Structure 1
Amino acid sequence: MAPVVVTVRLVRSFEHRNFRPVVLHGVSLDQTVHEFIQLVRDDIATRPGLPPPFRKYAYDTMKIIHQAHGAKTNELVMSLDDDKLLILQCGQTLRASGVANETEVAFFRKEDYDLYKANPKTVW
Structure 2
Amino acid sequence: MDGEAVVTVRLVRSFEHRNFKPIVFHGVSLDQTVQDFIEFVRVDIATKPGLPLPFRKYAYGTYTNELVMSLYDDDKLILQDDQTLRTAGVANETEVAFFREEDYSLYRANPKTAW
What's the TM-score bracket when you normalise by the shorter of the two chains? over 0.9
Tell me the residue number matched to 1:19: 20
Tell me the residue number matched to 1:46: 47
User: What 5-or-longer segments of structure 2 have no aligned partner?
Assistant: none
Does 2:94 align with 1:103?
A: yes
CA distance in 1, matches of 2:3, 2:101: 31
* % same residue: 72
Q: Deviations over 1:15-48 (max 9, x none)?
A: 0111000000000000000000001111111111
Tell me the residue number matched to 1:79: 70
Aligned length in residues: 114
Tell me the residue number matched to 1:71: none
Q: Secondary structure at the match of 2:63?
A: strand
Tell me the residue number matched to 2:84: 93
Stretches (4+) displaced over 3 A: none
Normalising to structure 2: TM-score of the pair? 0.94
How far apart are 1:91 and its partner, in Å? 0.6
CA distance in 1, matches of 2:111, 2:28: 32
Normalising to structure 1: TM-score of the pair? 0.87
Tell me the residue number matched to 1:72: none
Q: Deviations over 1:21-76 (max 9, x none)?
A: 0000000000000000001111111111100000000001000136xxxxxxxx4x
User: What 5-or-longer segments of structure 1 have no aligned partner?
Assistant: 67-74
RMSD between aligned alpha carbons?
1.1
Tell me the residue number matched to 1:6: 7
Q: Deviations over 1:68-100 (max 9, x none)?
A: xxxxxxx4xx33232111111001100111111
